[in-house]
Structures are given as C-alpha cells and as structure tokens.
Structure 1
Amino acid sequence: MADMTVVLDVVKTLAAVAVPLVVAVVGHRLTRRLKLWEASQWRNQELIKARLQYYGQLAPMINDVMCYLTFVGRWKELTPPEVIKIKRDMDRAFFSVAPLFSQQAFDAYQDFVGACFSEYTGWALDARIRSGFVRRRQTQPDSWDPEWERLFTLNETHDIDQQDLAHIRAQYNRLLAALVEDIALSEPRIRYATTDLVVNAH
C-alpha cells in the first residue's frame, strides 16, 4: 500500500511538472507560427504594394497601345514612332519587374504585345505595328511622314480586319484582368469602349 502511495505521489509530481512544460512548448510553437504567419502577411502586403506601383506605371502605356491599335481614345494624338517608343518603354518596365507578377500575367502580356506588334523583324530593326496606315495618314495629312509607313505590317491594299481589332481588345482585357488579379483587387472595369468597334480603316 505504501508503494502504491509512493507511485501515486511520483505520478502527481510528474504531472504537475509536465503540465507547465507542455503549456510552454505549445505556447512556443504557437508564437513561432504566429510570427511566421505575420512575416508571410507582411511579405504578401509588400508584394501587392510593389505590384500596384508598377501597375500604375504600366497601365497607361498598355492603354495607349490598345487605343492606337483599335482607333479609340487618344489614338489620333499619337504618331507611329511614339507608339513604337511606348512599346519599348512598356517592355522595359514590364520585363524588369516580371518576376513580381504571376505566370498568367506574364503570358497575357506577351500575348497582348504579340497581337499589337510584329517583333524580331530583323537585326536592329524596330517592331512593326500590326495594322495599316491609310486611315491614320488621312487624319494627319499635314504632319504625316511617309517614312512612318514602313512601321506597319499592312500596306495600302490590305484592310484592317474587324476580328483583329476584337482580338486586340480581348487580349487587352485579359492582360488587365491578370494584372489586377495579382494585385488582389476587385474585378477591373474593362469595358471602356463597346465591343462593336465600328472602324473603316485600311
């Protein structure tokens, strides 16, 4: 009976010691996990802030390219060399920070640019605009430079296809949606113009 009492006392003592130890271990692990979670949240917030900052730089250039290619917005204010320069600046801005964005955004960017420009046309040659110049030349009769015509993929005898305009618009919407999803914002307002782009362009 005395032995049983001793055993019970030992068990009680071990239990009394074990409880604080278990509580301490569990508390330490919870604190560590909380700190890791907080660090992860901070990194995510910083990433979103960085993405938002670069989105603010990229979005106006992307919009200018879309407007010029689809004859909406301020397209008449831009010259072909300016559009090529916007494309070059846009590429530099995007590819320098591409690792901050998702693969979905990267693919959408490349598809949008591919729909708007013909790239790698020759050594040291600029990309060419996937469109025609006739309608643009008509809107700038006094300032048009015939040298600009080589910057387009279509010549005077080829019409601009309405399906091509719709495709550019679809790629633009897809790119904005991908960038905005990376920034964790709500769905963007992507319908700044009707889908029926009525254009008589050559």
Structure 2
Amino acid sequence: MDNSSGKGKASPWNSLEIAKILVSAMVPVSVVLFGTWTSSALQDRQDAFQLNERLVEKRLEIFERVATPLNDIFVYIEDRGHYKDLTPEDIIKRRRELYKTMDPYKAFWSADTYEAYLHYMDSVAFAPNAVNARRNEAANRDAVIRTDISQKQHLEPWEGKQADWADLHTGERDENHEQSYNNLIGLISVDIGARPAAHK
C-alpha cells in the first residue's frame, strides 16, 4: 500500500497553535501574579502609612511636653513675653526637663531636628559653666544661660540674689538665638506634620 499520500499533511501542533495555547495559559497566571503583587504593594503602603501615623502621633505627644519649657527658655533669653515671671533657676530646671524628655526619644525625631535641638540647647541657649569647670565642682555642672541680665537683675525676684544668679549667665546673647530657635521649631513642625518639608 502506498503511504506517500500522508507525508504531506501538516501537523495540527504547529508553532502558531502552540503559541496560542501558551498565551491562553499565561494570561490567567499573569493576572493572578499581578493581583498578588498589587495586593502586596498596597498592604506595604498601608503598613508604612500606619507606622508613619503612629510615629507622628508619638512626636506630637513629645512636643506637647517640651513646647512650654522651650518657649520659657526662649522668652527668658530674649526678654520677651512672660520673662519677668521666670528666674534663672527656673530656666536651668527647664533645661533638665527637656533633656529628660527628649533624650530617650532621640530615635523618634528626624536627624535634622535632633541635631538642631542639640545645637540650640548646647551652643545657642546655654554654654558650659566655665566657673564650675575651673573650680572642678563636680556637684554643680549645670550649663549657664547665654543671655544679658541688664533687664532682669532689677526685677523683684532678683533682690538679694543678684550675685548668685549673675553667675548663672554668660552676660551675652547669641546673635543667632532667635533664628536658631525658629529653625528648631520649624523642623519640629515638619516632623509632626504641621507643615510640609522644605525642598533641598
């Protein structure tokens, strides 16, 4: 029998048909993979948003505790507002309160904010107590307040304490004090979501 007549028939499984089958099979798989990736990405974004929300809430909680001591220090140094109601001992106490509140939560603040806070507290608003350093008085290592006392020393609370309280001041105010304070408050405002971050 002559079987030559079957040799010329094309195979039903040619490359085009195979491609169609592969494409048909890949479409649902791609849909599933895309859906899984999209769902995972959305979940990641939601988790990040919730984490940032909790971080902002914590920062706001901390700021509510430090806002008043910071403002007291500012107005005392600038001789503004209610500075007459404050004594140098009050300001030294506010400094301690701030360190007790801010230091344990350093990780909650942006690097720029915490750096600005340290700069304000350690260099602008206060200075090392050189008198105690010379005397090597380990029991009293508080920093001194960087401000002029000409308007303060005549206030009623200073009566009989001028000499002792004068030693708690440097006698000069940092010329960039207000700018440094405003910069710190501005950075805190960004961290707590009260204002948008400035583009660098």
Calculate the TM-score normalised by the size of structure 1.
0.79
Distance in structure 1 (CA, Å) of the matches to 2:95 and 2:160: 20
Q: Aligned match of 1:19 in 20, 27, 31?
A: 27
**Amino acid in the other structure paired with 2:23:** A
State the 1:29 CA deviation. 1.0
**Amino acid in the other structure paired with 1:6:** W
Report sequence identity in percent: 25
Q: Say which one has the larger Rg.
A: 2
Structure 1: which 5+ residue stretches go unaligned?
Answer: 155-159, 188-202
Structure 2: which 5+ residue stretches go unaligned?
Answer: 1-8
Q: CA RMSD in A?
A: 2.1
Distance in structure 1 (CA, Å) of the matches to 2:28 and 2:63: 52
Q: Which moved more, 1:8-17 or 1:81-90?
A: 8-17
State the 1:171 CA deviation. 0.9
Give yes or no for the alignment of 1:69 onto 2:77.
Answer: yes
Q: Aligned match of 1:6 in 6, 9, 13?
A: 13
Deviations 1:152-186 (A, max 9, x none): 223xxxxx46xx3x521111101101111112222
Q: Given the superposition, is the C-alpha separation of residues 15 and 79 from structure 1 closer, same or farther in structure 2, using an over 3 Å criterion?
A: same
- Name segments (4+ residues, structure 1) moved above 6 Å: none
Calculate the TM-score normalised by the size of structure 2.
0.79
Deviations 1:89-131 (A, max 9, x none): 0112111112111121112112211211113643332111112
What does 1:60-139 align with in structure 2 at a 5 Å threshold? 60-113=68-121, 114-119=123-128, 121=130, 122=133, 123-124=138-139, 125-139=141-155
Give yes or no for the alignment of 1:176 onto 2:192.
Answer: no
| Contact 2:87–2:157, Cα closer than 8 Å, also in 1 | no
| Partner SS, residue 152 of structure 2 | helix
